Chain A
């Protein structure tokens, strides 16, 4: 198997995730897209770990998974709060920081 197969797949997933983050207005969907990005990163970590024959890739991927779980928890809590206050999770309506 080629190293690049894994890496290119990671790159494609990453870019799809970026598109989702930038294009979707639904807060939950944006969080899902971020999960896609994080998974793309994990694929890279695992691929390089296997390439260099070290478990460090796995360990870092585990950390990423853990942090991603925490991030989803907080992110969904924020979306929930948003929904409760505005009856909507449309991110375009969240522009209190407009200068």
Chain B
């Protein structure tokens, strides 16, 4: 129990620190690498609460694919601009204000509603892992239609991305 808490605390602290670096660092390459840390933290949290399949998927898709995509994007669009990422105070201030306001509202609501609620309160024997078999059973029976829709969406996004990014012939 204590170990769980400690693990969560460490992971959470690392994640928050990295996330802050993502949005504040000047070097966009660093930002991408910090993002990897955050995403890995999310994946380990998933594993921590027993969501095995999603945790693995998180690592595969995000760290394996999305980050690579980002790196490609960064390299293809690298320009003088990258290093002088400026963020003047005029735009920083409203952004901080909005974010803090949002945080206050959400934290207030969460503390008010879920104070002291145990995550495994519903389970008599503590946390039971949700197995991959359960997930696949659900996904391919009840959620088969959304699943197919998402596949089509991915295909469409794939084609769309190619069409958008393709260099015009002779251009």
User: Quick one: closest B residue to A83, CB to CB?
Assistant: B77
Interface residues of A in 3-50 (CB under 8 A from B): 3-9, 11-20, 22-29, 31-33, 35-36, 39, 42-43, 46-47, 49-50
B73 touches A29 (CB 8 A): no
Bound Cα distance from A51 to B161, whole angstroms: 38
B70 touches A28 (CB 8 A): yes
Q: A11-B103, A51-B122, A63-B146 are known contacts. Are A29 and B28 too (CB-CB below 8 A)?
A: yes
Q: Counting CB contacts under 8 A, is A98 at the interface? A: no
Interface string of B126-155 (1 = CB under 8 A from A): 011010001100110001001000100110
Bound Cα distance from A65 to B85, whole angstroms: 29
* Distance in Å: Cβ of A82 to nearest Cβ of chain B: 8
Bound Cα distance from A41 to B53, whole angstroms: 17
Bound Cα distance from A43 to B139, whole angstroms: 19
User: Quick one: closest A residue to B143, CB to CB?
Assistant: A59
Interfacial chain A residues near B45, Cβ < 8 Å: 6, 9, 43, 46
B117 touches A57 (CB 8 A): no
User: Quick one: closest B residue to A84, CB to CB?
Assistant: B167
Q: Counting CB contacts under 8 A, is A74 at the interface? A: yes
A80 touches B165 (CB 8 A): yes
Bound Cα distance from A53 to B46, whole angstroms: 14
A72 touches B66 (CB 8 A): yes
Bound Cα distance from A7 to B106, whole angstroms: 9
B154 touches A70 (CB 8 A): yes
* Distance in Å: Cβ of B22 to nearest Cβ of chain A: 6
Bound Cα distance from A90 to B88, whole angstroms: 13
B66 touches A35 (CB 8 A): yes
Q: Counting CB contacts under 8 A, is B10 at the interface? A: no
Q: Counting CB contacts under 8 A, is A94 at the interface? A: no
Chain B interface (Cβ within 8 Å of chain A)? 4-5, 8, 12, 15-16, 19-20, 22-23, 28, 31-32, 35, 38-39, 42, 45-46, 49-51, 53-54, 57-58, 61-62, 65-66, 69-70, 72-74, 76-77, 79, 81-82, 85-87, 91-92, 94-96, 98-100, 102-103, 106-107, 110-111, 114-123, 127-128, 130, 134-135, 138-139, 143, 146, 150, 153-154, 156-158, 160-162, 164-165, 167
Further 8 A-B residue pairs, CB within 8 A, beyond A36-B23, A46-B46: A1-B119, A17-B23, A23-B23, A24-B23, A25-B86, A28-B77, A68-B66, A74-B161
Which 8 pairs of residues, A with B, have the shortest CB-CB distance?
A20-B23, A70-B157, A22-B95, A23-B95, A77-B164, A77-B161, A77-B165, A19-B99
